A = this chain, B = another copy of it.
């Protein structure tokens, strides 16, 4: 059993992992990118995770390495693994998180539900894909994109001329990924966890509401999802986790298409924004489960603590409001709301915190969470 867990990356996900480490009495160390990161209280080292020497030095202080993000170079992780260090999820799994084209290829081989997609190296290939898919495509850079970056809707290859140039293609590994623009009725996320020993547990499916490509609200469980859908999405997550060899928490973002298909959109091999509800909403939070999983400890119950949970993101409204300054009114008006602020300086659009409300009544949960978020954003 591993007791000392090392997290690469000092963002809010690492920050929220500190909580179960404190409760469980596990030692958590963080390799942060910079001083003053959200996870600073557990930051035992500050350095560049792209540098093998830095990561190797950090790895010496812990029993297992895990992540706040998926950006550590595979070459660094493979070297650590060759040196006998436990990396969870392993580099072989992260390879799919770091390259959306490889992810689509492998998930297709596994028979998991995909949109139509194609590897694109030329304008002609893109034009053909667009023509075959209703005159529109989602074009993605296979590497480096997140929260809507590296993604665009194209109706002609001219919409992506610079991505298709020799320099543009060279930057992203030589090809682009074109995907069907799914006509979806809503977006869903299936959170799960898997241990190196192979234990797997899923939380109830959630609905995510995106605004401008960023998660705005999460409804747990997904409203109106039948037992059959809940079972199917949990099995999809199991297929992804086992098929790609993922350990720790895995978030599978999905579309519910108008024609009834469930289609895998994105993967995250770490705790994920769509799982923040689980801190208060579940017997075991995604952060505790991640620590258990990467340490190869048995997984905790993913049962819900109440009929409904609603999570609303606090995105920076300007360069001044840290949300804490509006606590007095928010706490007074909404004593049931659970407020989370990540200790980041204010910046418009930045993920700076979130609000969760659990309740037996879904509309009440939503109303309280929205009211609290609104006060935190605008002071009234």
Contacts and interface: CB of A to CB of B under 8 A. Distances in A.
Given A305-B306, A324-B26, A328-B1, A335 B299 contact: yes
Interface in A328-349: 328, 331-332, 335-336, 338-343
Contacts of A306: 305
A158 interface: no
A351 to B, nearest CB: 13
Interface stretch (A17-25, A83-91, A133-141, A208-216): A17-25
Interface residues of A, number: 43
Nearest to A39: B22
A283 interface: yes
A300 B41 contact: no
A341 B343 CA distance: 26
Given A297-B327, A301-B336, A305-B305, A341 B19 contact: no
23 contacts: A1-B328, A3-B324, A18-B18, A18-B41, A19-B19, A23-B339, A23-B341, A24-B327, A24-B339, A24-B340, A25-B323, A41-B41, A41-B42, A297-B327, A298-B328, A298-B331, A298-B332, A298-B335, A299-B331, A300-B336, A303-B336, A305-B306, A305-B358
A326 B232 CA distance: 35
Nearest to A25: B341
A5 B309 CA distance: 30
Nearest to A343: B25
B335 A301 contact: yes
Contacts of A26: 324
A18 B22 contact: yes
B25 A16 contact: no
- Of the listed residues A26, A300, A323, the one surrounded by the most CB atoms of chain B closer than 10 A to its CB is A300
